[in-house]
Chain A
Amino acid sequence: MSLLANVSMEFLVATGIGWVTACGVYLMLRGRSFPVVLGLTLLGYAVNIFIFVMGRLWSGAPPILGQGAVQADPLPQALVLTAIVIGFATTGFVIELALRSRAEAGTDHVDGREPGERPERDA
């Protein structure tokens, strides 16, 4: 129990980011389009938090003037805010790409062909 008492927020954040990254990378390396989309989404969470905590951890200090003596670093927050929205747009794009690819290739495998099929090479 004393071990848990000594755990810091920094440790939780760092390991949390690391673990989500690992799961995201693993899913990204799968062969079907949907797990890849999920993997990219997980990776997106991890990256956003990673950039956000570049400004270090602050509790109860939102970067709004006049609400307290201390304010958290606003710059990474501004960067991450747009990143979240753009991340959503790219997720949408990738899903639609996956649908289109499946309709054209007849498979949802990321290479556009079922495993074991011979690749089509340009002459």
Chain B
Amino acid sequence: MAAGRARTRKQVSFAAPAHDRPRIVCMNLLATVVLLPLLAGTSACALIGRGNTPARRLLTALAAGGVTLAALALLLRMAPAVFAGEVPAAGFEWLPQLGLNIGWRLDGLALMFGLLITGIGALIVLYAHHYLGSEDPAGKFYALLMLFMAAMLGVVLSDNLLMLVVFWELTSVSSFLLVGYWGHRADARAGARMALAVTGGGGLVMLAGFVLLGQIAGSYELTEILQHRERIVADPLYPLVLALVLTGCFTKSAQLPFHFWLPEAMAAPTPVSAYLHSATMVKAGIFLMLRLYPVLGGTALFEQVVTGFGLATVTFAAWVAIFRHDLKGLLAYSTVSHLGFITVLIGLDAPMAKVAAVFHILNHATFKAALFMSAGIVDHACHSRDLRRLGGLYGWMPWTATFALTAAAAMGGLPPLNGFLSKEMYFAEALAGADRLSWIVPAVALLAAVSSMAYSLRFAHDTFFNGPTRDLPADAHPHDPPAGMLAPVALLALLCVAVGLFPESTYGPLVRLAADAALGGPPPEFHLALWHGVNGPLAMSAVAVLAGFALYAGLMKGRALHGYLPRAWSGKLAFGCAIDRLFAFAGRVTAATENGSLQRSLLIMVAFAVLLAAAPFWQADALPAAGDRTLMPATPLALALWALLLITATVIAATHHQRFRALVLVGIVGLITALTFVGLSAPDLALTQLSVEVVSTVLMLMGLALLPQHTPRESSALRRGRDALLALVAGGGVAGLTWLMLTRNHDSISWFFLERSLTEGGGNNVVNVILVDFRGYDTFGEITVLGIAGLGALALLDGFRTRRPAADADGRAWAFEQQPLLLRVAARVVLPLALLASAYIYWRGHNMPGGGFIAGLMTSVALVMQYMALGQARAESLLHGAAGRRFTRWIGTGLGIAGLTGIGAFWFGRPFLTSAHGHPALPVIGELPLASAAAFDLGVYITVVGATLLTLSVLGAASKEDHA
């Protein structure tokens, strides 16, 4: 229906011509509308609102108000263009491969919502300044409010559907934070969680719908999607898209069966309820239904589903609202009901229904915000919102009562107020819908209107009349609030009257504009007026008002309504039950998979790894055979080492209960590893392995000194057999894989490094050039890991002391003798030589085996020797180690040097860690090969020394005798 219409409006394209100044201005303005509250608003409010003095609170409110009014002014600045039929749009490509672009678009619908968000927002800022108590942090409140406002503006101004989802979820998150503003209250936390779970979850479902929609339409830009209605509606996935998108809309706009979060969200401060839960956020779902109506709407499916859910919601919620004793709870259900009302109008397949929907969005926001604010005033003055305790307040707070009564009359749909007008239109559309759908539509509409009248009456009568007050809290002193708190209510209440009397000159133009955008073309001719003559809708209105009065009078007879207790079942309970079941299920799964035994977990892990590695062979027809690489004949030395390795490893596994012996034997395996590196052309690795072997053996010995010397024989034979079997399977698998691999020739990418090592890295030792140059980024990450491991050790053992037993398990006393003199002397002699050697190893690393890692380990070995020879206290006082803590500075220095070297490349306009090298000729020394990578390697060196000594030193400090 809508798409067939030729699109006559001008569309400002992405690439607006540069000379077209007004449009360029619009482009910048559009982004500013959202970014202003998002960046300036949140940060300004958070910064100014840090202190809690009255002056700061005022300044924060002024900043928030200023930002809101500026955003409003920007929208008004662009309004003439929109009224002239233009659609200002702006944007740029961000991730075009994913269809994710930054795009803004201001059509009539977006303008109407934008004005609503900023206009009501400004009133809320004013109101909240008086509402918040002196102990409530103003900065937090206004910063979150600004965040929410930016998110809402982002939703209505987005042209890209994916960007819209981002803002949509941002409204859920900021709403979560605002509802939970009073985080010390359990109901606020629970309400916030529920709101986030329902609306955030709905947003995810909606995202799935949007992805499908974008795939069908071939674009995520609304501008583009709006052109493809035929294709989308005809697609077999259309019902699924509709279901997913509507789920998002229904959760956000609190439609049955997702309505239950909204009453729970009433734990929020009242300005939040007035803003989010009546005027703006809950309207986001409504907005999206209208936004996508030209694409998704107008089908029988759409009409039946949307109208059906709307009718169920409007009737149910209006009825429940009568029985709520909490003032805000009544308003919350009333909001749900009115959202249902608007949903029905969006569903009904008639252009005028969309006009009525848009009109009622404005009307509802006007009177409901006023009502929430009045409820807040009452709550503030009486410290209670319980309708059973309030009553007779008219005499105490006449001005508040007057404005609240006006707004309540608008909510009930009494003439001559704005609510009456849109209700008449609603009745007219419902009567028209009876022909297409069923007589149920007008009947249910009438029923809802009766309830609506009844709860409006209860709100007015039970609060301000029906006195006297019944058992109010002792600190209650009902009075009219300061003018600043009353002014927003007054303004909105007067607007209800003005719109009721002069609809065409107030909301008329905006309604026309928004309906045009929602319909995808101009709406039919209409005239908004109070009096349309005596007709069906008027009769329905009269019936609704009279029946509503009668219903309320009947229920309230003898204050019977006050004795009503809500039944136990509700959506809230169902939600809580579902959450409990989910947690219980998660607990059962955890208990079933993880029983607290590391041995079992490791067993499963290894077994799974074996299965994973074996899986490809399972599918193969035959086991793969060895390859055809020319093999290297084994030397006698290799054979001997191999035999030694097998024997040593076997002895370790079999007699690991003798811990000291096992540790020494592990050292032998390490030495054989180092020799393997020597024999197989890896001098760098051999040097590294050798130095690591020394430090790591010392480390393990230190650890062992504080642990039992023997491992008890406690595993059953069955368990040992099982573990041995798994170990053999794993080892056999690894051996098999290695064999298969080694017998095949390989195609490596290493020729690249071999070819360019000298020309681009300036070094002959390719391994070192790879480490400090080609893959410098990796190395930077690795030394960072090294530093973190060292810090982790410090965190584990800092200040920790173990009580060492005086004797070992066999009763032999531990001896604490002074280190042998010879060792002390030797260590002193060796230290400078060792340092010199490591400096040499470091310096030649770029061209010969060596480099920062190896030099760092060698230095560590030399220093560890000092620890052993001089004792930790003496060595540490020389190194200023402070029980290991000071070595964090070494790590920091090393990482800093490496990082700065990398950043240095920015100076030359190159990416991080690009190295430079040269061969400057110096007098006397001659040509000196110099690479910036050497500085990076220095960072590596210092980090390695720092991390190694930190780990050792912390362990040493832990095992010191406790002198205290």
Contacts and interface: CB of A to CB of B under 8 A. Distances in A.
Interface of A: 4-5, 7-35, 37-38, 41-42, 45-46, 48-50, 52-66, 71-75, 77-78, 80-82, 84-93, 95-100, 102-103, 108, 110-111, 115, 119
Nearest to A47: B734
A15 B646 CA distance: 9
B726 interface: yes
B542 interface: no
Interface in B580-629: 595-599, 602-603, 606, 629
Contacts of B652: 23, 27, 38, 42
B785 A86 contact: yes
A63 B673 contact: no
B742 A64 contact: no
Interface stretch (B64-72, B196-204, B474-482, B750-758): B750-758
A88 B696 contact: yes
A53 B736 contact: no
A69 to B, nearest CB: 12
Contacts of A25: 606, 723, 726-727, 730-731
Contact of A82 (B738, B745, B782): B782
B666 A42 contact: yes
B706 interface: yes
B642 interface: yes
Contacts of A115: 714
Nearest to B745: A56
Interface centre among B703, B726, B749, B849 (most CB of A within 10 A): B703
Given A30-B715, A75-B753, A92-B793, A61 B681 contact: yes
Contact of A26 (B635, B653, B785, B800): B653
A74 B789 contact: no
Interface of B: 595-599, 602-603, 606, 629, 631-635, 638-639, 642, 645-646, 649-650, 652-653, 656, 659, 662-663, 666, 669-670, 673, 676-677, 679-685, 688-689, 692, 695-696, 699-700, 703-704, 706-708, 711-712, 714-715, 723-724, 726-728, 730-736, 738-739, 741-743, 745-746, 748-750, 753-754, 757-758, 764-767, 770-771, 775, 778-779, 782, 785-786, 789-790, 792-793, 796-797, 800, 802, 847-849, 853, 857, 944, 947-948, 951-952, 954-955, 958
A94 to B, nearest CB: 9
B690 to A, nearest CB: 10
A30 B683 CA distance: 35
Nearest to A101: B796
8 smallest CB-CB distances across A and B, nearest first, come from A18-B735, A22-B731, A89-B789, A8-B631, A92-B951, A95-B703, A26-B727, A74-B766
B734 A17 contact: yes
A11 B739 contact: yes
Nearest to B730: A25
Contacts of A34: 659, 703-704, 707-708, 711
B944 to A, nearest CB: 6
B734 A29 contact: no
A99 B681 contact: no
Nearest to A70: B681
Contacts of B802: 99, 103
Contact of A74 (B679, B750, B800, B954): B750
Nearest to A119: B596
A66 to B, nearest CB: 6
Contacts of B689: 84
Contacts of B699: 88, 91-92, 95
Contacts, number: 331
A63 B753 CA distance: 10
Given A59-B632, A72-B681, A81-B684, A20 B742 contact: no
Contact of B638 (A12, A29, A60, A98): A12
B790 A20 contact: no
A65 B715 contact: no
B791 to A, nearest CB: 10
Contacts of B646: 15-16, 19
A90 B731 contact: no
Nearest to A87: B692
B631 A93 contact: no
A8 B681 CA distance: 17
B599 A31 contact: yes
B476 to A, nearest CB: 42
Contacts of A103: 800, 802
Contact of A81 (B681, B714, B748, B853): B853
B739 A35 contact: no
A18 to B, nearest CB: 2
6 contacts: A9-B631, A10-B742, A38-B663, A64-B765, A65-B757, A77-B682
B903 to A, nearest CB: 21
A31 B633 CA distance: 41
Contacts of A17: 734-735, 738
Given A37-B703, A60-B681, A91 B666 contact: no
B632 A64 contact: no
B674 to A, nearest CB: 10
B846 to A, nearest CB: 11
Contacts of B670: 41, 45
B682 A72 contact: yes
Contact of B771 (A26, A60, A82): A82
